């Protein structure tokens, strides 16, 4: 019956309240062998794997690959999850850069130093409307 009330149950991965008939007490690859109440959408996402010869993030063929293992809390229940696989150079670079910049954001002193350095860079950068003859004195860098 359309619009009828149905029993809802929380997915322990995404935290969403879903129709109980779409939730299974099961496991997924990232938390195996642990079992939890997991909606069908999360089961699909957590069990999905790209081919082994491709990057685990973007799927491109791996010429140079970088192996990664990470353990992390999954969902509102902080289920003990883990992933492992290979990343292409671009995706490995993205992961590393993201971690480094987030670490700067989390450290107020380092963040303020980054702002100071970027301001200095901006001040020393030639004005695009300048004719290109502006010079930077030695020792100002």
pLDDT, tens digit, 9 for 90 and up, residues 61-79: 998 899 999 999 999 999 9
Among the listed residues 110, 103, 138, 113, the one whose alpha carbon sits nearest the alpha carbon of residue 124: 138
Tokens matching residue 53: 């010869």
Q: Is the peptide bond before 7 cis (omega within 30 degrees of 0)?
A: no
Q: What pLDDT sits at residue 50?
A: 83
In whole angstroms, give the CA distance from residue 104 to residue 77: 28
pLDDT at position 13 is 95
What pLDDT, on a 0 to 100 scale, did the predictor assign at position 1?
47
Residue 105 to residue 116: CA distance in whole angstroms: 14
Write down the pLDDT at residue 49: 86
User: What predicted TM-score, i.e. pTM, was given to this entire model?
Assistant: 0.67
pLDDT value, residue 138: 45
CA-wise closest residue to 13 among 26, 5, 21:
26
Which residues, given as ranges, of the chain have pLDDT below 70? Answer: 1-4, 130-141
Q: What does the pLDDT read at residue 67?
A: 94
């Amino acid at each position: 019956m359309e619009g009828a009330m149905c029993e809802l149950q929380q997915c322990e991965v995404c935290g969403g309240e879903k129709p109980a008939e779409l939730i299974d007490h099961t496991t997924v690859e990232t938390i195996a062998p642990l079992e939890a109440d997991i909606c069908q959408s999360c089961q699909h996402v957590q069990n999905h794997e790209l081919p082994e010869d491709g990057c685990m993030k973007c799927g491109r063929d791996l010429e140079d690959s970088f192996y990664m293992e990470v353990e992390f809390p999954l969902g509102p229940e902080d289920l003990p999850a883990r992933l492992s696989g290979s990343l292409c150079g671009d995706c490995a670079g993205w992961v590393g850069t993201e971690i480094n910049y987030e670490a700067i954001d989390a450290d107020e002193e380092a963040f303020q130093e980054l702002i100071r350095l970027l301001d200095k860079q901006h001040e020393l950068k030639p004005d695009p409307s300048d004719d290109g003859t502006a010079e930077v004195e030695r020792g100002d860098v």
